[in-house]
Structures are given as C-alpha cells and as structure tokens.
Amino acid sequence: MSTSTSVGVLLLDAEALYRELLRGVQLIWSANTRLVGITSGGAWLAERLQKDMNLPGQAGKISSAMHRDDFAQRGLSSGGQTVLPFDVNGADILILDDVLFTGRTLRAVINELFDYGRPASVKLAVLVDRGGRELPVQADFAAARVTLAPDQSLALARSEAGVFSFDVKAV
C-alpha cells in the first residue's frame, strides 16, 4: 500500500510528514500540554502521537459540528462527539489537525474547547497547511505547506493497520 499521493507534480508522503509532525510537537511540548485532535484526521494524529511519545492517559478528541458557521447546511457530521479525558482549565492545549485550510473548522473547535473550560494556552500543529485562509489563524507548527487548486480537497486517510495516506478529491 502506498502512503504517497501525487498532487500535480507534488508528492505528499503522509508517513514522512507524520514523522516531521512528531518532531515539531516534541519541540513545542511542555509538561502541562494536553493533545486534542480534531475529528477525524486530527484525532488519529493525536492518538498516535500520544502513543509514540509514551504519554500517560488518552488524547482528547474534539468535534467542530456544534459551532460551525455552516451548521444549517452540514448538520451533525458522523465524525463523533467531543471527548476530553482531562481538565481543560489551566492546561496548555495542543490542537492537532490533518489539513489547515480556511480556518473555519479551527474557529469552531476553539469555541467548543472553551465550552469545557479555560485553558492556559492553545496552540495548533497540523500535518499540512494548504493556505487559503478566510480567518486570521495560523499553525504554530506545520509539517508541510502546499498549494492546491481551490476545487481540490486534501484529507488524511488511515488504513486498518494505522498507516497514514492522503486522499485528494475534486470538490
């Protein structure tokens, strides 16, 4: 099974980018940091990072569904519910996502996070930053920055064995 995806002349190796993300997360990590992955790709990343960094407990999983500005069109997604198995108050939260694009999902996730408490800080690490921001947000760490056509989407996929790859689709 290939873990690479061709995007025009660009080749994205999801497993290599994951290793770069792991390195970057270790650089911005503190003893008070808690991992929170955005469903679904970000949650997969947080789960694997929690294991690969030998961290106790479980990573959190957060859904953007209830705070999206396009809720009327999308409704509740099948991505799952928010589960934060730790106290958010006073914690340094590291939000993880597979692809940062417009910033709208991140805005919704931050609203959801603050429904659970007041963290000391919130940082963002992503596998891929594809630009195209509609809101003034940026990642504290991005394993890669790529440019895609506006009519393309990029999403992380995970095999049953836990191997990451990318799906590129026309929107």
pLDDT digits (tens, 9 = 90+) for 35-93: 999 998 999 999 999 999 999 999 999 999 888 666 545 555 555 799 999 999 999 99
Residue type, 106: L
In CATH terms, is domain 4-148 a member of 1.10.357.10?
no
Q: Are 139 and 150 in contact (CB under 8 A)?
A: no
- Asked if the model's pLDDT at residue 9 lies above 50, the reply is no
d(Cα 51, Cα 65) in Å, to the nearest integer?
26
**What is the largest distance, in Å, between two alpha-carbon atoms of the chain?**
45
Q: Which strand (E) or helix (H) includes residue 12?
A: strand 10-13
pLDDT attached to residue 118 = 98
83: which DSSP letter?
B
**Confidence bin at 107 (pLDDT 50/70/90):** very high
Averaged confidence pLDDT in the chain:
89
